[in-house]
Structure 1
Amino acid sequence: MDLGRPQQKSSARPIYYGVAAVAALTVLWLVFKPVEPSLPIVTKAVTVLSGDSDVSGTATFTQAHIGEPVSISLDLKGLDPNAKRGFHIHVSGDLSGGCLSASSHFNPFGKNHGAPGDSERHVGDLGNIESDGEGNVKTTFEDKFISLNGPLSIVGRSVVLHAGTDDLGKGGNEESLKTGNAGGRAACGVIGQA
């Protein structure tokens, strides 16, 4: 050791202390990090439809995984025989004033009304359902826009079966672009987690 010359500090020492500090903070964070509550994944929801008409029945919604299409199974009776009727998800689950309380179609992106396969459509636009010769509907179909989880969740909203046929936004007038000219509300129900 040469006492006549000033000693040079090692440039590796500050890096060593920096790495050690980061490692210590990481361990402390992992040990003491707050546990975030997680919401359960909803895989099934159901609604019981009823209203001022004779229409009654159920709609069951299932979604195996978030991001996958929702399967919709309908078991309805009391429709006119061989009828096509508009079927939509509406914004509100408050049906205290009957089906009119359901508000408008579920449309978080502010789009025009359309058919289920259209890119320009409300999230709640599920098209038409068709009854058989006795006025019953037993069918299952899928929709890729609605979800049972997250911001597009339909749980807590309502289903409305309309009294008329949905023109799928192709009617050439302003009402068609809002409602599909599907007419009054024959039956409705709140969608609840099953």
Structure 2
Amino acid sequence: MNASAMTPPATDEPPTTHRPFRARGGLALLGLAGMLTLAACGEGNDATTADPTGGQGAATAASSPGPLATATMRHAEGMEVGTAQFTEADQDAMRVSVEFSGLEPGYYGLHVHGNGVCEAESSAPDDPSETGAFLSAGGHLGGDDARHPEHAGDLPALLVTESGRAAMSFETDRLTAENLRDDNGSALMIHSGPDNYANIPERYAPEGPDEDTRSTGDAGSRLACGVIE
């Protein structure tokens, strides 16, 4: 037999092997496992993002107390100059937050008065013959039980900036829900001048502050008033 007749014909196709199919099968399984892992991680992240505080944030927002009372402040001419909020900070203190605008720069006396009536031109409750702006609000809250600046209604001085705006927030243990909302009610008052808190050095007054100073702090007339309600 001729040798050339026994030689198989030449071909360009590579020899058949099953290894590439096994490799592809392994990579496919690894890819599927990776996709499942990423999907599981994504679900975990979504859960964390949806409520990162575990519900505590919503509970805190829901439990934040709103203001116990508010006051809208107006000039004697009726123009609104701002608002105040009274919030129970805890069992022993009241937080007072105020925001005012349209006032001349400088310091002003700020007090809570013991009668919840803000009439622009009115008489004092204890002396009908005395008339003036917002005299209907009476004297300082707690004025019958102490002398200035120990009244329950004596508050920190208000500082108005050059822009005519004033904002401050503070806590006091002199104000309570009971004395703000007693039978007479109460009113927040901005006075026309600064409060000296009856601090009169002896070199100016050897006998100390007089009765007017011990009643009002010499804070001047009543500039703006708001019923606390």
Using the size of structure 2 for normalisation, the TM-score is 0.57
State which of 180, 185, 189 in structure 2 corresponds to 1:153. Answer: 180
For residue 44 of structure 1, what is the aligned residue in structure 2? 68
- What CA distance in whole angstroms lies between the structure 2 residues aligned with 1:110 and 1:57? 30
Supply the AA of the counterpart residue of 2:108: R
1:141 aligns with 2:165: no
For residue 145 of structure 2, what is the aligned residue in structure 1? 110
For residue 8 of structure 2, what is the aligned residue in structure 1? none
Structure with more relative contact order (C-alpha pairs < 8 Å, separation 6 or more): 1
Percent identity, aligned pairs only? 30
- What CA distance in whole angstroms lies between the structure 2 residues aligned with 1:104 and 1:46? 20
> Contact 1:71 / 1:141 at 8 angstroms: preserved in 2?
yes
The 3 A distance-change label for structure 1 pair 42 and 101 is farther
Q: What whole-Å deviation, never above 9, does each CA across 1:155-189 have from its counterpart, x for those lacking one?
A: 73101100000000113222110000000000001
State which of 188, 196, 199 in structure 2 corresponds to 1:170. Answer: 199
- What CA distance in whole angstroms lies between the structure 2 residues aligned with 1:46 and 1:124? 15
Q: What whole-Å deviation, never above 9, does each CA across 1:97-143 have from its counterpart, x for those lacking one?
A: 351110100116521101xxxxxx00000131101111111111111
- What CA distance in whole angstroms lies between the structure 2 residues aligned with 1:45 and 1:166? 24
Superposed, 1:23-172 pairs within 5 Å as 44-52=68-76, 56-65=81-90, 67-81=91-105, 83-96=106-119, 97=122, 99-107=134-142, 110-114=145-149, 121-148=150-177, 150=178, 152-154=179-181, 156-171=185-200, 172=209
> Contact 1:43 / 1:64 at 8 angstroms: preserved in 2?
no
Using the size of structure 1 for normalisation, the TM-score is 0.66
SS in structure 2 at match of 1:182: coil
Larger Rg: 2
4+ residue segments displaced more than 4 Å: none
Q: What whole-Å deviation, never above 9, does each CA across 1:82-102 have from its counterpart, x for those lacking one?
A: x11000000101224351110
- What CA distance in whole angstroms lies between the structure 1 residues aligned with 2:153 and 2:75? 19
SS in structure 2 at match of 1:95: coil
SS in structure 1 at match of 2:139: coil
- What CA distance in whole angstroms lies between the structure 2 residues aligned with 1:45 and 1:85? 22
Q: Which runs of 5+ in 1 are unaligned?
A: 1-40, 115-120
- What CA distance in whole angstroms lies between the structure 1 residues aligned with 2:164 and 2:80? 9
- What CA distance in whole angstroms lies between the structure 2 residues aligned with 1:130 and 1:158? 20
The 3 A distance-change label for structure 1 pair 154 and 79 is farther
- What CA distance in whole angstroms lies between the structure 1 residues aligned with 2:72 and 2:148? 25
Task: Looking at secondary structure, tell me which structure has more helix per residue.
Answer: 2
SS in structure 2 at match of 1:125: coil
SS in structure 2 at match of 1:167: coil
> Contact 1:56 / 1:78 at 8 angstroms: preserved in 2?
yes
